[in-house]
Amino acid sequence: MFRNSNHVPQILRPDHYFSPEQSEVERDRLFLPAWHCVGVKALLPNQGDFLTLELLERPLILWNTAQGIRTYLNVCTHRFSTLTDKPCGHFAKNLKCQYHGWEYDGEGNTCKIPDAQSFRPLKKGELGLREYRTETVGQLIFVTLNENAPDLRTFLGPELVALAEQRFSPEHRLTLVRDTHIDCNWKIVIENILESYHIAMVHPKSFADYPVPEHCFHEFHADYDHFIHDFTDEPRYAKPERIIAKLIGRAPDYRWHHILRYPNIVMGGAGPWHYIQMVWPTSPTTCRSRWITMHYSGSKASWWGFLLHRALLRFGRRTALQVQNEDARIYPKVHRGTAVVDRPHSGGLISMREERIIVFQEYLLRETGSKPSTAEPAEKPTFSPTIRFAQP
């Protein structure tokens, strides 16, 4: 059963997609309190490896230290240069600032200052790097900018933790990491991700058509939703899964999972491939996506295992890039129309198939204390926060 028996109107206003005030509220209430997946352990496997990224206007550096993976603000305490601008690399012993050469140890404390006597009085270790809380689940590395955030496992909840541990286990190998800058409000990307209605037009090569409705299931929870496509009876997908599962030595799983942990953590995948996608606003009308795919290819020891790994890597990369590129082409066009103040009042129809969007929009209004569009829903959604149903 659908949650709604008819379509409902979009409840976000045009200015939700371009207003600086709305963007600030979302940053403060949705993004700053949350945990963010910034990478996977496979990206910095050895002690000393680092990677950098930009998160919510803050340059960060993740560093694999003797005490584990630590995250610091990539800003030197001397005169605030970024320590390094390389996307990744290796600092064997200390982090070293690229400007005047101050060095920081694994704990983020200053440990070497060139011409230190000219900074008197200064105690050793007095000026440390700013550190952010870092926790992992499976191979996924999460960071929060909020000192008072609950621990990561509480934030994700048991179902998402179990899925992350299983789908990004140490046996999984890196398929693809990709950062994309997109000219649209971040919610345009999330809303697109939440519906399969665009598949026939936007992904004709990758997926061909909508999933069969009888095989689709939705679950809605307080802070995440979960879409499952059971393709047991769809040979187009089931046959390759059966063959791949046999090759890598595990039982076939004929389900495609897709989860949005509000506001911006997307986890999806089927067969040997699983991905996590983060979408961060970079301004009211632009955003950035970090997409990480991993795959499981069974034993690595044999020639056969190596060949299988290469095949899964190539196919997984090609498909993920193709799907992302297809979606990326449509985002600016959707943003252009959605953010127009004179857009038709009677439009903005959200179909039964697209109903995950309405739950996301309700979440957004609730959490930002914002008012809906003046157009009244044709039928007010009235269902319990956790519900599971098959689409008719």
* Intra-chain end-to-end CA distance of the chain, in Å: 5
% helix, strand, coil for the chain, step of 5? 30, 30, 40
Report the interface residues with ligand FES, using CB under 6 A: 76, 78-79, 81, 97, 99-102
Of the candidates 148, 209, 211, 141, the one whose C-alpha atom is nearest the C-alpha of residue 174 is 141
Work out what residue 318 binds among Fe ion, ligand FES, none; the CB cut-off runs from 5 to 8 Å by kind. Answer: none
When the beta carbons of 101 and 381 are compared against ligand FES, the nearer one is: 101
Work out what residue 76 binds among ligand FES, Fe ion, none; the CB cut-off runs from 5 to 8 Å by kind. Answer: ligand FES
DSSP for 137-193, written as a single string: ETTEEEEES-TTPPPHHHHH-HHHHHHHHHHT-TT-EEEEEEEEEESS-HHHHHHHH
In the complex, least distance from residue 202 CB atom to Fe ion, rounded to whole angstroms: 5
Residue number of the CB atom closest to Fe ion:
327
Distance CA 392, CA 236 (A): 21
Q: How far is CA 133 from the centre of its chain?
A: 18
In the complex, least distance from residue 131 CB atom to Fe ion, rounded to whole angstroms: 37
Tokens read off for 207? 């997926």
Work out what residue 143 binds among Fe ion, ligand FES, none; the CB cut-off runs from 5 to 8 Å by kind. Answer: none
In the complex, least distance from residue 114 CB atom to ligand FES, rounded to whole angstroms: 8
When the beta carbons of 131 and 159 are compared against ligand FES, the nearer one is: 131
In the complex, least distance from residue 91 CB atom to ligand FES, rounded to whole angstroms: 14
When the beta carbons of 47 and 206 are compared against Fe ion, the nearer one is: 206
In the complex, least distance from residue 77 CB atom to ligand FES, rounded to whole angstroms: 8
Work out what residue 81 binds among Fe ion, ligand FES, none; the CB cut-off runs from 5 to 8 Å by kind. Answer: ligand FES
Q: Which residues contact 345 (CB under 8 A, 6 or more apart)?
A: 374, 375
When the beta carbons of 73 and 76 are compared against ligand FES, the nearer one is: 76
In the complex, least distance from residue 78 CB atom to ligand FES, rounded to whole angstroms: 3
Contact between residue 328 and residue 182 where contact means Cβ atoms under 8 Å apart: yes
Residue count (the chain):
392
In the complex, least distance from residue 100 CB atom to ligand FES, rounded to whole angstroms: 3
Work out what residue 291 binds among ligand FES, Fe ion, none; the CB cut-off runs from 5 to 8 Å by kind. Answer: none
Work out what residue 327 binds among Fe ion, ligand FES, none; the CB cut-off runs from 5 to 8 Å by kind. Answer: Fe ion
Strand ranges inside the chain, DSSP E: 8-9, 35-40, 49-55, 58-65, 68-73, 88-90, 95-96, 103-104, 110-112, 131-137, 140-144, 173-182, 216-220, 224-230, 255-261, 265-270, 273-283, 286-295, 349-350, 387-390
Pairing of strands 49-55, 58-65: antiparallel
In the complex, least distance from residue 127 CB atom to ligand FES, rounded to whole angstroms: 10
Work out what residue 275 binds among Fe ion, ligand FES, none; the CB cut-off runs from 5 to 8 Å by kind. Answer: none
Distance CA 335, CA 95 (A): 41
Distance CA 19, CA 14 (A): 9
When the beta carbons of 98 and 169 are compared against ligand FES, the nearer one is: 98
Distance CA 234, CA 250 (A): 20
In the complex, least distance from residue 258 CB atom to Fe ion, rounded to whole angstroms: 11
Work out what residue 79 binds among ligand FES, Fe ion, none; the CB cut-off runs from 5 to 8 Å by kind. Answer: ligand FES
**Cα angle: 208, vertex 212, 217; to 5 degrees:** 125
Work out what residue 135 binds among ligand FES, Fe ion, none; the CB cut-off runs from 5 to 8 Å by kind. Answer: none
When the beta carbons of 76 and 339 are compared against ligand FES, the nearer one is: 76
Report the interface residues with Fe ion, using CB under 5 A: 327
* Residues in a beta bridge with 216: 229
When the beta carbons of 86 and 100 are compared against ligand FES, the nearer one is: 100
When the beta carbons of 113 and 202 are compared against ligand FES, the nearer one is: 113
When the beta carbons of 59 and 240 are compared against ligand FES, the nearer one is: 59
